[in-house]
């Protein structure tokens, strides 16, 4: 049963009263709901408050499902977790935060402080950086490969990171072979002639080849298809032409706003504001950390029978080459936040379906009359954080003193999480289910790579050591 005690209009009015601007002169009627929406989204990330059930059809011969794009079921997973916040939405938020005109996000001429290109390019840059920093969205794709003597396949230039790879031979030998992630030194230690004798690729490396090349080991004997799970820089954004969804979970889109503001307030010239730029960068980094822990699937069923989702790495290890097996689906495996694998791959005897309870994105009202889906005890802290966000454009002491409201919001979000933890013995397991794949296939490591500096701390020390003391003190 939904909450029915406070309408969206009433919550907006309460925020205007908090800001002592009931006429909505300084904080406009367009602006007020944006701060409340961001507060709701941030609360959703911190608490996992909104949870809902949906179903997806397990289509025959389909091994992977992108949960964000599933349009069957009620409510659909696209409705619950799909990406709807656009690049122009972020531009509008930046315009309000910087005291610029926010009436247009496509042909805004900019000012002496900020040009339109400054803002739009910052949105594009930070969205791609966020995808690289978090690996939150996974894409499954296939590409044909020939059989070059050295066994290197060219990857598309939108690929940021290869998370998993399988090789499918050409007809009639069109079976899948899982390829294990490795590096050239391990290959040599295992078999010094690995690159001489062709065969079915069983491993891959991205350490030795140049960017956008993937080394197959051994080199393929014949042409085939690579089945890839990757982190991609997509979709292409061009806010001057059209509004495009950012392609990341809506509740994480405040990260893009904070990153954009950090870039814009760090530009040399009239716009430079080091204190607020540093604050915004910290907020961006906080959202990066939150994205790396973001849960999605809490509970799952196949054909009405409960199941505990495993990881794709577990499935690959337990049933090598599982993609060749068809039948009645019995297991679900999470490759990451949005990508789900099914084993066995559904045959043609269905229909088959899966039911998932997910942590959904914050339900933002689209008109003023609907009720806000929050408990009465949470309204005050949402107003606290929205007030904190609204005061950013004022800056100075007025903004600084709202740290108390932000702290109250954080404490209340954590308190709700603690109540959930107390009510369920294994709350940690479902929370981590969408992120456990990285425990088996890490995205980052403190070990040395190929660069001269193994850690962020050393890199920061190097930068500060080369800045004169008198400049660091400013």
Q: Where are the strands (E) in 147-259, listed by range?
A: 152-154, 159-169, 176-181, 203-205, 213-217, 224-232
What is the rounded CA–CA span in Å between residue 86 and residue 250?
9
* Burial of residue 240 (number of CB atoms within 10 Å: 0-12, 13-18, 19+): middle
What is the rounded CA–CA span in Å between residue 166 and residue 142?
9
What is the rounded CA–CA span in Å between residue 413 and residue 6?
19
Backbone angles phi, psi at 353, to 5 degrees: -145, 160
pLDDT beneath 50, residues of the chain: 470-474
Picking from 85, 39, 62, 45, the residue whose alpha carbon sits closest to that of residue 337 is 45
What is the rounded CA–CA span in Å between residue 389 and residue 385?
6
Residue 260 · residue 98 · CB < 8 Å: no
pLDDT, residue 440, reads 84
What are 56's two structure tokens? 């997806």
pLDDT one-digit tens code per residue, 317-334: 999 999 999 999 999 999
Q: Return the SS3 of 225.
A: strand
Stated pTM of the model:
0.92
Residue 277 · residue 262 · CB < 8 Å: yes
pLDDT, residue 474, reads 43
pLDDT one-digit tens code per residue, 259-268: 999 999 999 8
pLDDT, residue 424, reads 74
What are 337's two structure tokens? 């936040």
What are 145's two structure tokens? 């490969």
pLDDT, residue 464, reads 56
pLDDT, residue 330, reads 96
Handedness of CA 435, 410, 82, 127 (dihedral sign): negative
Strand 64-66 vs strand 339-343: parallel, antiparallel, or unpaired? antiparallel
What is the rounded CA–CA span in Å between residue 341 and residue 321?
13
pLDDT, residue 366, reads 85
Q: Where are the strands (E) in 266-416, listed by range?
A: 297-302, 305-307, 310-311, 326-327, 331-334, 339-343, 345-346, 353-359
């Amino acid at each position: 049963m939904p909450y029915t005690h406070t309408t969206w209009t009433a919550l907006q009015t309460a925020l205007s009263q908090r800001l002592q601007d009931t006429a909505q002169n300084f904080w406009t009627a367009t602006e007020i709901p944006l701060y409340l929406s961001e507060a709701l989204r941030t609360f959703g990330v911190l608490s996992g408050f909104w949870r809902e059930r949906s179903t997806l059809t397990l289509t025959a011969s389909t091994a992977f499902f992108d949960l964000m794009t599933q349009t069957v079921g009620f409510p659909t997973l696209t409705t619950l977790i799909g990406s709807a916040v656009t690049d122009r939405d972020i531009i509008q938020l930046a315009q309000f935060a910087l005291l610029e005109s926010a009436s247009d996000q496509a042909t805004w001429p900019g000012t002496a402080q900020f040009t339109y290109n400054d803002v739009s390019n910052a949105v594009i840059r930070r969205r791609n950086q966020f995808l690289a920093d978090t690996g939150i969205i996974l894409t499954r794709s296939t590409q044909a490969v020939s059989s070059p003597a050295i066994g290197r396949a060219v990857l598309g230039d939108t690929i940021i990171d290869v998370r998993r790879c399988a090789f499918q031979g050409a007809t009639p030998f069109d079976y899948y072979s899982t390829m294990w992630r490795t590096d050239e030194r391990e290959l040599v230690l295992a078999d010094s002639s690995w690159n001489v004798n062709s065969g079915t690729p069983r491993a891959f490396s991205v350490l030795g080849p140049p960017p956008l090349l993937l080394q197959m080991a051994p080199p393929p004997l014949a042409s085939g298809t690579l089945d890839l799970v990757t982190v991609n820089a997509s979709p292409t954004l061009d806010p001057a032409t059209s509004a495009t969804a950012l392609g990341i979970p809506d509740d994480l889109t405040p990260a893009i706003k904070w990153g954009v503001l950090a870039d814009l307030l760090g530009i040399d010239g009239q716009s430079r504001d080091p204190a607020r730029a540093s604050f915004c960068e910290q907020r961006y980094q906080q959202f990066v950390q939150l994205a790396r822990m973001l849960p999605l699937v809490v509970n799952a069923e196949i054909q009405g029978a409960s199941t505990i989702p495993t990881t794709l790495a577990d499935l690959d290890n337990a049933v090598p080459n599982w993609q060749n097996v068809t039948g009645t689906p019995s297991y679900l495996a999470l490759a990451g936040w949005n990508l789900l694998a099914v084993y066995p791959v559904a045959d043609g005897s269905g229909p088959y379906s899966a039911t998932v309870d997910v942590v959904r994105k914050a339900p933002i009202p689209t008109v003023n009359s609907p009720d806000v889906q929050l408990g009465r005890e949470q309204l005050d802290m949402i107003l606290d954080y929205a007030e904190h966000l609204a005061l950013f454009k004022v800056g100075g002491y007025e903004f600084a003193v709202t740290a108390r409201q932000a702290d109250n919001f954080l404490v209340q979000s954590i308190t709700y999480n603690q109540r959930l933890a107390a009510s369920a013995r294994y709350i940690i397991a479902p929370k981590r289910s969408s992120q456990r794949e990285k425990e088996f296939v890490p995205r980052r490591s403190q070990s040395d790579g190929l660069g001269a500096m193994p850690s962020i701390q050393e890199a920061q020390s190097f930068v500060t050591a080369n800045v004169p003391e008198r400049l660091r003190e400013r």
